């Protein structure tokens, strides 16, 4: 069987499996929001369990990207991008928890409070940045959702990224990014909610879990992010 067909078949299987896992995780969340929107809102509130789980996902991604950058042989864009990914995920983690404000109990400085829409010690709730954050989040998740299948299923695109030593997320995490896009962009339009912003918190959680999967894969098998897609034996 030609290489492009065996590779595509293998990658499709991994994507479908990842989508199934994401659906199994997402459906109970949808059912919860429909059955008990009040407790759903309580879980999604500031400093609630969803926010802490999201921060933990971002922290795991940061640790994974950092470890992957140390294990990547030679200098080049792959190591640089993994370092950038680690720093970005660490910033996401800090912003999610307002840099430990409620944990440490310090007050928001008055200049920050005056411009922060929620009176918190973070950047993403400052004025127009709150709307920009949402747009960037939707764009990033959509770009991954479209770009990942192309990079994994189109041999020329896969070879180009391998030649440029650019890391590509493993195919099995695609479902988590698609679930994140659903909750961030679409869920609020038809779910019964106590607060319209709650699904965005769930979307951020799935986004963090997708990044965590990518980061932990980078830590365990950094070379696999640059190589051609694996070929199953016996095809």
Q: Single out the residue of 128, 126, 110 nearest to residue 118, CA to CA.
A: 126
Q: Single out the residue of 169, 183, 220 nearest to residue 23, CA to CA.
A: 183
What pLDDT shows up at residue 134? 78
- Looking at the DSSP bridge assignments, the partners of residue 116 are 126
Asked whether residue 234 is assigned to any structural domain, the reply reads: no
Asked whether residue 17 is assigned to any structural domain, the reply reads: yes
Asked whether residue 151 is assigned to any structural domain, the reply reads: yes
Q: How many domains does the chain have?
A: 1
Domain housing 119: 3-225
Asked whether residue 231 is assigned to any structural domain, the reply reads: no
pTM here is 0.83
Asked whether residue 97 is assigned to any structural domain, the reply reads: yes
Asked whether residue 196 is assigned to any structural domain, the reply reads: yes
Q: Are 14 and 170 in contact (CB under 8 A)?
A: yes
Distance, in Å, from the CA atom of 167 to the CA atom of 233, rounded to the nearest integer, reads: 24
pLDDT digits (tens, 9 = 90+) for 184-201: 887 877 777 778 788 889
pLDDT digits (tens, 9 = 90+) for 11-30: 778 888 888 888 888 999 99
Instruction: Give the residues of the chain that fall short of pLDDT 50.
Output: 1-3, 5, 228-235
- Looking at the DSSP bridge assignments, the partners of residue 196 are none
Rg (CA), the chain: 19
What pLDDT shows up at residue 1? 41
What pLDDT shows up at residue 59? 97
Place of tokens 């590779």: 7
Asked whether residue 21 is assigned to any structural domain, the reply reads: yes
DSSP state of 183: I
Q: Single out the residue of 159, 178, 183 nearest to residue 30, CA to CA.
A: 183
Asked whether residue 13 is assigned to any structural domain, the reply reads: yes
């Amino acid at each position: 069987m030609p290489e492009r067909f065996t590779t595509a078949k293998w990658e499709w299987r991994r994507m479908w499996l990842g989508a199934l896992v994401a659906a199994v995780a997402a459906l109970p969340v949808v059912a919860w929001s429909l059955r008990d929107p009040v407790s759903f809102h309580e879980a999604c509130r500031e400093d609630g369990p969803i926010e802490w789980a999201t921060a933990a996902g971002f922290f795991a991604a940061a640790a994974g990207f950092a470890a992957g950058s140390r294990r990547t042989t030679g200098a080049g864009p792959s190591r640089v991008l993994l370092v950038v990914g680690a720093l970005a995920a660490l910033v996401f983690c800090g912003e999610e928890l307002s840099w430990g404000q409620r944990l440490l109990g310090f007050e928001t400085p008055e200049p920050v409070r005056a411009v922060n829409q929620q009176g918190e010690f973070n950047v993403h709730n400052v004025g127009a940045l709150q709307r920009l954050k949402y747009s960037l989040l939707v764009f990033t998740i959509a770009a991954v959702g479209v770009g990942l299948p192309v990079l994994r299923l189109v041999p020329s695109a896969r070879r180009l990224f391998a030649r440029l030593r650019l890391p590509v997320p493993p195919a099995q995490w695609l479902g988590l990014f698609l679930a994140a896009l659903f909750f961030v962009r679409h869920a609020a339009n038809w779910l019964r909610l106590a607060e319209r912003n709650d699904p965005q918190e769930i979307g951020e959680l799935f986004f963090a879990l997708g990044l965590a999967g990518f980061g932990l894969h980078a830590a365990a098998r950094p070379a696999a992010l640059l190589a051609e897609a694996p070929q199953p034996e016996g095809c």
